[in-house]
Amino acid sequence: MSGVLPEGRSIRMGLIGLGSMGRHHARVIREVDGMDLVAVADPHGDRHGVAGDLEVLGDVASLIAAGIDAAMVAVPTYLHEEVALALAAAGVHTMVEKPIAASAAAGARVAEAFTEAGLVGAVGYVERCNPALLEMRRRIAAGELGEVFQITTSRQGPFPGRIADVGVVKDLATHDIDLTSWIAGSPYAVVSGQVTHRSGREHEDMVVATGRLANGVIVAHTVNWLSPMKIRQTVATGEKGAFIANTLSGDLTFVANGDVRSEWARSTAFRGVSEGDSVRYAIARREPLRVEQENFRDALLGRPSETVSMPEGVHTLRVVEAILASAATGETVHL
C-alpha cells in the first residue's frame, strides 16, 4: 500500500488548539518518530507554555501558510467543522479530536470534504488506543469469549472545568459509543436514553443509555460528571465468561464461566453459569495518545494503521444525537 506522503522524511505537523488536549498533543507529536511539529496556532495564546521556539499563530489560515503536511485539530467542538473544512480545502491531511464536529450533519460535511479531496481524515478517539481495550478486542476477535452477548460501560467522575460547549453525552459518552461499536465490530441499531441536569449548566451532566447493535449485542452506558469516584470500566460478557477492562489502570481481567456440576437434580432445569477462574493479564502499557499519533503517522505513510475514520466518527455522532432525542421524547430511536 503506497502512502500519501513519502517515507524517509519527517511529516511536517501543525497543531491548532493549545488547551487541555492540545498541550498533550504538542508533547506527543514531538516524541513520535517521523513527525516534526513545525507550526502551532491558538487565537487565545499559549497558556500552557508548550509552543517552545515556535511562534503562536492566530488562526488556521496562518497554520496552513506555514507549509504543513498534516494537522491535529484540538480546538473546541463547535469550531471543528470550520477548521477541518479549511484544512481539507488546503489539501492538509487531518486528525480531529473527538467528536468530529458539533453535529452529525456537520461531521458528514467534514467527512465528505476529506473523501472528495483524497486526503487522510481521522478522528481522535484515544480510548481505542488504551492497552486494556486493545487486548480485549484482540482476544474477542480470537474467539476467547465465544459469542458476545452484552457490552456495558461506566464512565463517571467529577466535573471537568475544561468543558463549556457540550454536555456529558457529546464529551464523554461519545467515547463509549465509539469503543463499543469498535469492540463488537458492529454499528448501533437501536438506542434509548435518560439524561438529567443537576449542576445548573445548560447541558446535561448525567446519562444512562441502553441499546442494541446491528449484530444483536445489547449495550448499556452509565456516564456522568457528578460522581466523587472516577470510574472507567468496560465489560464484555459472552458465552465463555466476561472481560473487564479498567481503562484508568490499563488492566484487563477475564472471569471464566465455571464448569461446576450441581448434584441437586432440579437445578439442571436452569442452564445458567457459575463463576469460574479469574485471570488478570500482564499487558504492555503504552501511552494511548502516543499510539494514536503513531497510527495517524502510519496512515499517512501507507502502513497498516488503526486510525478512526471520519465516517465512523459521524456514526458515533448520529448515535449521540439519537440518545439525546430519546431523552427528550421518551421514545426509543431506531438508527
Residue with cell 478517539: 125
> Do residues 31 and 290 touch, judged by C-beta distance below 8 A?
yes
More confident residue, 245 or 5: 245
pLDDT of 265 over the 70 cut: no
Predicted pLDDT at 50: 95
Residue type, 129: C
- What global pTM score does this model have? 0.91
Distance of alpha carbon 29 from the chain centroid: 18
- Please tell me the least confidently modeled range out of 50-54, 57-61, 100-104, 159-163: 159-163
Paired with 241 in beta bridges are 238, 256
Predicted pLDDT at 162: 64
- Please tell me the least confidently modeled range out of 117-131, 172-186, 266-280: 266-280
pLDDT > 90 fraction of the chain, expressed in percent and rounded: 85
And the C-alpha cell for 237? 460478557
pLDDT of 104 over the 50 cut: yes
More confident residue, 242 or 167: 242
Predicted pLDDT at 2: 47
Q: Which of 62, 115, 58, 108 is nearest to 81 (CA)?
A: 108
- The tens digit of pLDDT for each residue in 15-28 reads 999 999 999 999 99
Give me the half-sphere count of Cα atoms (radius 13 Å) on the Cβ side of residue 206: 9
- The tens digit of pLDDT for each residue in 187-209 reads 999 999 999 998 888 889 999 99
> Do residues 182 and 328 touch, judged by C-beta distance below 8 A?
no
- The tens digit of pLDDT for each residue in 26-73 reads 999 999 999 999 999 999 999 999 999 999 999 999 999 999 999 999
- For the chain, list the domains and their CATH numbers: 11-127+290-308 (3.40.50.720), 130-285+317-334 (3.30.360.10)
Residue with cell 421518551: 330
Q: Containing H/E element for 213? A: strand 206-213
Q: How far apart are CA 174 and CA 123, in angstroms?
A: 12
Q: How far apart are CA 159 and CA 77, in angstroms?
A: 18
Query: In terms of DSSP bridges, do strands 218-224 and 148-156 run parallel, antiparallel, or are they unpaired?
Result: parallel
Q: How far apart are CA 193 and CA 329, in angstroms?
A: 10
Q: Which of 149, 218, 209, 141 is nearest to 176 (CA)?
A: 209
